Amino acid sequence: GAGVSQSPSNKVTEKGKDVELRCDPISGHTALYWYRQSLGQGLEFLIYFQGNSAPDKSGLPSDRFSAERTGGSVSTLTIQRTQQEDSAVYLCASSLAGTALAKNIQYFGAGTRLSVL
């Protein structure tokens, strides 16, 4: 596809359930990022992948959150035992990344709106 694709676009779940959010980055983009955006708030960084490895996962709020990336492409963000405070829009972005600054432009998906009841 031409852009970053995220699925599902909306997810409603019950407290305590596990959820998986998927991100398909732009083909050829080596870097992939997950952010969380709560209502009226800025983008909260969660994790950054370079290829399949995650050099920076400092933003994951708790051990209930995990993410993986396979084949240097698709990434999945998993939230276990969801809580109401996990309700937010989860955004994924990809970039070429590297030493050339122009490669660090991030391209975002439309996000997954997660609602935990």
Partner 1 sequence: SQKIEQNSEALNIQEGKTATLTCNYTNYSPAYLQWYRQDPGRGPVFLLLIRENEKEKRKERLKVTFDTTLKQSLFHITASQPADSATYLCALGSRRGSTLGRLYFGRGTQLTVWP
Give me the residues that bind partner 1 (CB under 8 A), please: 4, 31, 33, 35, 41-43, 45, 48, 50, 55-56, 91, 93, 95, 97-99, 101-111
Dihedral of the alpha carbons of 68, 72, 73, 75, in degrees to the nearest 10? 10
Looking at the Cβ atoms of 10 and 16, the one nearer to partner 1 is 10
CA distance 87 to 41: 13
Q: From the CB of 49, what's the least distance to partner 1, in Å?
A: 10
Q: From the CB of 80, what's the least distance to partner 1, in Å?
A: 25
What is residue 83's three-state secondary structure?
coil
Q: From the CB of 30, what's the least distance to partner 1, in Å?
A: 9
What the block records as the tokens of 89 is: 């829009």
What the block records as the tokens of 92 is: 């994924």
Looking at the Cβ atoms of 4 and 116, the one nearer to partner 1 is 4
Q: From the CB of 70, what's the least distance to partner 1, in Å?
A: 20
Looking at the Cβ atoms of 16 and 61, the one nearer to partner 1 is 61
Query: Which of 21, 28, 102 lies closest to 72 in space, CA to CA?
Result: 28
Q: HSE on the CB side for 87, CA within 13 Å? A: 11
Looking at the Cβ atoms of 69 and 111, the one nearer to partner 1 is 111
